[in-house]
Amino acid sequence: MEIVIQETPEAATEIAAMIVARLLREKPDAVLGLATGSTPLLLYRSLIEKKLDWSRVTTFNLDEYIGLPQDHPQSYHSFMWTNLFRHVNIDRARVHIPDGNAKDIPGVCAAYEKRIRAAGGIDLQILGIGTDGHIGFNEPTSSLASRTRIKTLTPQTRKDNARFFGDEESVPHHVVTMGIGTIMEAREVLLLAFGAQKAQAVAEAAEGPMTAINPASALQMHPEARFCLDTGAASKLQRAEYYRWVYDNKPDWQRP
């Protein structure tokens, strides 16, 4: 696992944006796994500004609320079109977001896994992290081998996400999310985290034991996982100085 610590969310995001941009230039038909929430907003803004060619890119989003109409302002369909897809030349047919309104949700989940496989697997998965360590919406005690399925949000996550909905009551209880096993199959994983509220979850994920109580800790087993953090999110890492030194002294050929 590589841990990159930068002073600000903007600086940490720029490193992530360079990695995505390089992939899209080197592999114009890349398959991206995408996240929603506050964290990737800067990344999507930066990618839009880079004026990349998205015409052959395929995307799979991590998750979606169950029962929220697709045109609801807080659905992840709305989020993705508002914050990224509308601003780039992506082919609508190559965009995949789980359907949280389907009658047969287990069928939707199985089909989602199949489509990821048919696309050749995910080249690069973008992740945020919940204050409880969730990735996607794989809440604590999710199976580390899980696949796309229904999950129930924890009270903590519903409280955290109340800021988008105005009040906690309006946050749906159920979601469809890629599983941890699904995420682990991405060839490369890039987790972004900003702010001191993420520091505990990040420290446990990177330096704690691998445990289903912190689902992001499964990334310790991923051969190509990178965390891009600001100083707040990195503030509880015991070996922060070491990670900074490693990054500052990388040979040029290893730099993103």
- The catalytic residue positions are 63, 132, 134, 139
Smallest gap from residue 22 Cβ to ligand F6R (A): 23
DSSP-derived letter for residue 69 is: -
Decide: is 33 part of the binding site for ligand F6R (CB under 6 A).
no
Q: List the one residue from 136, 179, 215, 256 that touches ligand F6R (CB under 6 A).
A: 136
How many CB atoms lie under 10 A from the CB of residue 92?
A: 7
- The residue number with the shortest CB distance to ligand F6R is 128
Q: Whole-angstrom Cα distance, residue 167 to residue 89?
A: 35
Q: Produce one character per residue of 186-224: b if its CB has 16 or more CB atoms within 10 Å, e if not.
A: bbbbbbbbbbeebbbbbbbbbbbeeebebbbbbbeebee
Place of tokens 């070996």: 239
Alpha-carbon span 87 to 202, nearest angstrom: 31
Q: Kindly state whether residue 77 participates in binding ligand F6R, applying the rule CB under 6 A.
A: no
Considering the complex, state which of residue 5 and residue 135 has its C-beta at the smaller distance from ligand F6R: 135
Rule CB under 6 A: choose which of 98, 130, 133, 172 binds ligand F6R. 130
User: Per CB under 6 A, does 128 bind ligand F6R?
Assistant: yes
Q: Contact between 214 and ligand F6R (CB under 6 A)?
A: no
Q: Least distance to ligand F6R from the beta carbon of 252, Å?
A: 31
Which residue lies nearer to ligand F6R by CB, 58 or 154?
Answer: 154
* Site for ligand F6R contains 62 (CB under 6 A): yes
Q: In the window 227-246, what residues touch ligand F6R (CB under 6 A)?
A: none
Nearest to 193 by CA among 161, 155, 230: 230
1 CB-near residues (< 8 Å, 6+ apart): 206, 219, 220, 222, 225, 226, 227
Q: How far apart are CA 126 and CA 49, in angstroms?
A: 18
- List the one residue from 3, 5, 20, 35 that touches ligand F6R (CB under 6 A): 35
Where does this chain bind ligand F6R (CB under 6 A)?
A: 35-39, 62-63, 128-130, 134-137
